[in-house]
Amino acid sequence: MGRVVTLVKTENEEDKVYGMAYEIHSNNMEKTFENLHFREKCGYSLKEVTFYPHNDLECKPISCICYYANEDNSYYSPSDDLSLISAQIYKSIGPSGTNKDYLYNLCNALRILLKNVNENCNNEEITRQESHLFLLETLVKQLETNSAI
């Protein structure tokens, strides 16, 4: 069993989720959702959310569909033990590849996205904004380094 990064519900209206929205052509809709439903199985729900494009004054908010994990998901694991989580990420492989590559790609994409959102933001500020995710990245890289020794 692997690990994924998932959205969790918050009561804080100031919380933000940064990410990308993709438009799916109607010809590809059925196959795309078939693949996503396979990948996001075992207790994920779809939720319609409002996406606010950044740095595009011409674009109005758009309606998007987002997957999120339910706590009744059989794979839902709210553990706060980062050493256990990082070990699980390090060794897990799923249909889309290794969990560690997924984590590394997510962190790199998030760094780029946060820099574009906050042009005056330095790496320290970016790391603070997503400290949990970037700490996991550091721990997994340490496991990788230690296993190479």
Spell out a b/e string for 34-50, using b for 16 or more CB atoms within 10 Å of the CB, else e: eeeeeebeeebeeeebe
pTM equals 0.75
**Residue 149 binned pLDDT confidence (cut-offs 50, 70, 90):** confident
Contacts of range 108-115, beta carbons closer than 8 Å, 24 or more positions apart: 109/20, 110/18, 113/18, 113/19, 113/20, 114/18
Going by pLDDT thresholds of 50, 70 and 90, the confidence category of residue 45 is: confident
Lowest mean pLDDT among 91-100, 122-131, 139-148: 122-131
**Is 107 within 8 Å of 56 (Cβ atoms)?**
no
| pLDDT score at 120 | 59
Work out the average pLDDT over 17-43.
84
pLDDT confidence of residue 127: 63
Strands (E), 41-142: 44-51, 62-69, 93-94, 97-98
Closest CA to 68 of 34, 50, 85, 44: 44
The residue from 11, 23, 40, 119 that is catalytic is: 40
How much is the pLDDT for 40? 74
What does the DSSP 8-state code read for residue 28? Answer: G
Q: Is 13 a catalytic residue?
A: no
pLDDT over 80 (residue 1): no
pLDDT at 19 over 80: no
pLDDT of residue 30: 94
Q: What is the pLDDT of residues 46-103, one digit of tens each?
A: 888 888 877 666 778 889 988 877 777 766 776 778 899 899 999 998 877 899 999 9
Question: Do 3 and 88 form a contact (C-beta atoms < 8 A)?
Answer: yes
Mean pLDDT of the chain: 80
Confidence check: pLDDT of 42 > 80: no
